Amino acid sequence: MILVTGGTGLVGTHLLYDLTRSGKKVRVIKRANSNIANVKKVFSYYTSDVDSLLNNLEWVDADLLDVYSLMDVMEGVEHIYHCAAMVSFEKKHQAEMMKINVEGTANMVNAALEKGIKKFCHVSSIASIGRAERGGVTSEETPWKSSPENSNYSISKYGAEREVWRAAEEGLNVVIVNPSLIMGGGNWVQSSSNMFTKAYKGIKFYSEGTNGFVDVRDVATIMIKLMESDISSQRFLLNGENASFRHYFDLIHVAFGKPKPSIKAGKFLTGFAWRAESLRALLTGSPPLITRETSLSANRKSRFSNEKFLKAFPDYKFISLEQSIKDTCGLYLRDLKK
């Protein structure tokens, strides 16, 4: 039996599809108020045989902050994929995010140790890896450094990783994946998929930052490859391609048939924008569209290496940025017609 957390998210839904289509029986942790309709929608992107695959899923209500409930759902489980995490760049969510991402992960690995789980895959993020200096390329070995530029999210993911490494020292067989910015379809108002919703409505501004990008289908495939391998106590940065945010948004707008962003948003403009958004959010109670953390990221020139993974799996071919965006935009337009 396989256990998956975060099964309704972008990575989780695609992971569930890959696991079930290979005939695996999967137990999925969810919150009592989780909407599992997104799983069915994602499955329908890739197959007409949705219902038979969904029959391989066993949904169980459990709380990451309750270690005893986690031990109950791990009964009979051999492999765990821990995809659940809270993503927010708003200050008001800092405490809750630290509890879910750090304490929740600690509970997961503690329960896994107690139940004798054979292998544990933790979905981390490039946010938990240090940043290379002077335009260098970030790899798994780039050291983490405390910095006022570190977002609360990155700090929470770094803390979660430390719990996983601690469990590895205590005997848990672990692998960690650190995806770059993930592209894929599903819930168009959450996480990185929301970028496609914004682009369809039209984005006028572009930034000069660069980042790494990876297709969600690659992330799910690679997680399974690592779990079915003999690799242990290793982390892998998952990055299909490095590109500028301008190129990324240009590709999306072209795929949608929309005008490309034409106004450069430098540090001054993005700095003004996140402050204005903070005030608007305070007055209206709605979440800010831009935060200090996201404005810093938009202008940061970051590049990421996938060399370690490709050395382990030299025949693997990542989906290109252009193809990933084309496919994701196609899914968005398909959902729009429904």
CATH superfamily of 2-187+212-240+303-320: NAD(P)-binding Rossmann-like Domain (3.40.50.720)
Angle, CA 217 vertex, CA 212 and CA 219 arms, to 5°: 55
pLDDT of residue 275: 47
pTM for this model (two decimals): 0.90
Distance CA 114, CA 171 (A): 11
pLDDT along the chain (338 residues), means of 10: 93 95 91 82 91 91 89 93 83 83 94 95 90 83 80 87 95 96 87 83 78 95 96 95 90 90 60 44 51 57 91 96 95 86
Distance CA 138, CA 238 (A): 12
Q: Quick one: CA torsion of 115, 119, 125, 127, rounded to 10 degrees?
A: 70
Name the 3-class secondary structure at 240: coil
Name the 3-class secondary structure at 150: coil
pLDDT of residue 321: 96
> What DSSP state is assigned to residue 177?
E
pLDDT of residue 279: 45
pLDDT of residue 262: 75
- Count how many Cα atoms sit within 13 Å of the Cα of residue 233 in the half-sphere of its side chain: 8
Token digits for 151? 């977002």
CB atoms within 10 A of CB 94: 16
